Structure 1
């Protein structure tokens, strides 16, 4: 049993990293297609990812040393079908005419290993039939492809890391794995009765997709403020350098403000109310009455957010650091702390209030008479 615990522990350790890498693309895909995220769908997708990780680690772990593998003289491959069955009949106590031998035979290694290869891909078949809606013949074909990937991984010596295979390529494993996947697809309809169907998840997601949730806005904000803003900052810095304006690039305020203006001012005005992040998750800024927002309203809205709220936060953090970290406790610093802190408190309270009430129409939207709508179509 311990030989199976190590791969599962490794999968548990690797899963948070893989899930984090997949989180943003998964959210973007869900918001683009449905306009919302159904949590049961997230559970299904991420358990599928964990299963694939676990299955992969089960076929490659534990890893031997390269020196130990170099001394191996065992066969590299078995291309003779049904060798596992012949070994089972020859090496176990199983006798078809003696029922008393059946149960003891099931506890012997020559049964356990083939049974493991069947069980390994049963969940794969269940996922393919339940969530991905694949017919049985495709379930079998995809299970065969997954098994072939596993076997080639072993045959290649973990993609050339080892001088030779440390586990044998076995055609019986291909047969057993593909059968396990097909078996999973076969029993999936019975299991699906206990869980929401894919159609139910899709319908619920599209219904929820007409509302712009905080999570959806956060995903758009994250894309704009990390990926897009980073790319625009790099592009403007390169442009300034090519134009010989290196002094502008070294100016911290200018190198920060110009990309902000481009991403949150120029782009929304040109596109009619969307930034790249909002476009990816299908959000658009419009007037509160649903009419298109004019350029000055879009600019005013973004100025309130990035030119006022963001600068209040920066100013408060700067004055707080001056007083309580650098101990520059002058009267002017205390005045600046209060001057930044009082309006910032309003911004924070407004943010928390809208978050709790789920209205999600913050002060900058109210003052600019704007709101955000979903552009996802509900069929």
Structure 2
């Protein structure tokens, strides 16, 4: 791979890794912001992650390594190019006496074209994906290019100790042009992409309770407990390092019990009693009453919690409960599609229904909630 292609591969593989980390937050954002999931916008998020990593790879990598002082002495770039349109004179000089084909394929010309193409996706994503106007898309492209040029010129704001790439005002101009052209063609290139304003208009409409929504809600609960536990553990370790204790390990009550209590048990006591993941997917448990469906009392909520996410959390705290935990997760997940209304074992065992939160009020007739099964 040459210097033109290896950053693209970094963008593809690195971007997909970034998207994997952003997938669940993107799902939760879509669900709460738009009221539903959009596969096309998730695809756009993946493409945006690939482009973002590729942009960094093309403009900032590779970084100097080894003895930075020696590297700067041998390879450091001095000064900055502040003459607008200097690239025109450079092209004339480098292509003097060449034919049309040789001129168009010269490094001087390709460098300018590449700088325009590099920011073309910026304008496309800004207008076609984020829904910004042409002016905002172009201005943000200019600001991003300026940040890149400053980062290069300052050696990542002094971390390297010298300019490791030439700061060039022509790069700023051509990058901005690319952002403008991308914004202009975005309606054609991304005409298949739903706009945020279009999705928000339908946000309040109740939708069927599907197995996918249930599984995503479960995944949100699991990841939230894991991330909170890891974050508290890292924070405890950093505090220990700051206080001079390099051997301190976070207590299990902090990394295990507290996340389970905050993420899985506290929501049972608040509002509808839905778990964090269920709230992210607009889901609520309801129990049958003489007047319809209503929120359950505290004993019902606790029992449902033990049969669902709360029970999973308890099992994670018990040493040696690995087989039981695996069986619990497997049964809970696989049973969802086979239970009425996709309510799952926890609701089925406690007599609850799982409904779309937008279709219900504190007590609603059965007919109003039946559309969500």
What's the TM-score, normalizing by structure 2?
0.74
- Separation in structure 2 between the aligned mates of residue 70 and residue 132 of structure 1, nearest angstrom: 43
Could you give the per-residue CA deviations for residues 91-112 of structure 1, whole angstroms, max 9, x where no partner exists? 21479xxxxx333211111111
Correspondent of 1:121 among 83, 98, 119: 119
Kept in 2, the 8 Å contact 1:297–1:369? The answer is no
Highest CA radius of gyration, 1 or 2? 1
Question: Higher helix share goes to which structure?
Answer: 1
Indicate the residue corresponding to 1:12 in structure 2.
12
Kept in 1, the 8 Å contact 2:315–2:321? The answer is no
- Separation in structure 2 between the aligned mates of residue 281 and residue 86 of structure 1, nearest angstrom: 58
The 10-residue stretch of structure 1 (124-133 or 290-299) with the greater mean CA deviation from structure 2: 290-299
Correspondent of 1:165 among 151, 163, 166: 163
- Separation in structure 2 between the aligned mates of residue 346 and residue 60 of structure 1, nearest angstrom: 47
Q: How many residues align?
A: 337
Change (3 A) 1:90 1:356: farther
Give the root-mean-square deviation of aligned CA atoms.
4.1
Could you give the per-residue CA deviations for residues 327-358 of structure 1, whole angstroms, max 9, x where no partner exists? xxxxxxxxxxxxx89xx979855742433679
Kept in 2, the 8 Å contact 1:233–1:259? The answer is no
- Separation in structure 1 between the aligned mates of residue 257 and residue 186 of structure 2, nearest angstrom: 55
Change (3 A) 1:133 1:349: closer
Kept in 1, the 8 Å contact 2:145–2:172? The answer is yes
- Separation in structure 1 between the aligned mates of residue 75 and residue 55 of structure 2, nearest angstrom: 25
Could you give the per-residue CA deviations for residues 65-123 of structure 1, whole angstroms, max 9, x where no partner exists? 4323323465320111110011112321479xxxxx33321111111111110110011
Q: Which runs of 5+ in 2 are unaligned?
A: 235-250, 361-373
Q: Does 1:152 align with 2:150?
A: yes
Q: What is the DSSP-based 3-state SS (H/G/I as helix, E as strand, rest coil) of the residue aligned with 2:294?
A: coil
Q: What is the DSSP-based 3-state SS (H/G/I as helix, E as strand, rest coil) of the residue aligned with 1:62?
A: coil
Kept in 2, the 8 Å contact 1:285–1:372? The answer is yes
- Separation in structure 2 between the aligned mates of residue 347 and residue 281 of structure 1, nearest angstrom: 19
- Separation in structure 2 between the aligned mates of residue 179 and residue 190 of structure 1, nearest angstrom: 18
Indicate the residue corresponding to 1:269 in structure 2.
269
Kept in 2, the 8 Å contact 1:305–1:364? The answer is yes
Indicate the residue corresponding to 2:348 in structure 1.
366
The 10-residue stretch of structure 1 (25-34 or 142-151) with the greater mean CA deviation from structure 2: 25-34
Q: What is the DSSP-based 3-state SS (H/G/I as helix, E as strand, rest coil) of the residue aligned with 2:5?
A: helix
Question: Residues 1-379 of structure 1 correspond to what in structure 2 (within 5 A)?
Answer: 2-65=2-65, 66=68, 67-72=70-75, 74-93=77-96, 101-193=99-191, 195-198=192-195, 211=209, 213-227=213-227, 264-265=264-265, 267-287=267-287, 289-305=292-308, 348=330, 351-355=333-337, 359-375=341-357
Q: What is the DSSP-based 3-state SS (H/G/I as helix, E as strand, rest coil) of the residue aligned with 1:49?
A: helix
Kept in 1, the 8 Å contact 2:342–2:354? The answer is no
Q: What is the DSSP-based 3-state SS (H/G/I as helix, E as strand, rest coil) of the residue aligned with 1:88?
A: helix
Q: Which runs of 5+ in 1 are unaligned?
A: 96-100, 235-250, 321-339
- Separation in structure 1 between the aligned mates of residue 105 and residue 232 of structure 2, nearest angstrom: 63
- Separation in structure 1 between the aligned mates of residue 258 and residue 88 of structure 2, nearest angstrom: 70
Q: What is the DSSP-based 3-state SS (H/G/I as helix, E as strand, rest coil) of the residue aligned with 2:293?
A: coil
Kept in 1, the 8 Å contact 2:83–2:169? The answer is yes
- Separation in structure 1 between the aligned mates of residue 335 and residue 281 of structure 2, nearest angstrom: 24
- Separation in structure 2 between the aligned mates of residue 160 and residue 92 of structure 1, nearest angstrom: 36
- Separation in structure 2 between the aligned mates of residue 79 and residue 307 of structure 1, nearest angstrom: 62
- Separation in structure 2 between the aligned mates of residue 48 and residue 120 of structure 1, nearest angstrom: 13
Q: What is the DSSP-based 3-state SS (H/G/I as helix, E as strand, rest coil) of the residue aligned with 1:158?
A: coil
Kept in 1, the 8 Å contact 2:336–2:345? The answer is no
Kept in 1, the 8 Å contact 2:152–2:163? The answer is yes
Deviation, 1:214, is 2.3
Kept in 1, the 8 Å contact 2:85–2:170? The answer is yes
Change (3 A) 1:106 1:363: same
- Separation in structure 1 between the aligned mates of residue 263 and residue 301 of structure 2, nearest angstrom: 12
Deviation, 1:17, is 3.7
Deviation, 1:261, is 6.2
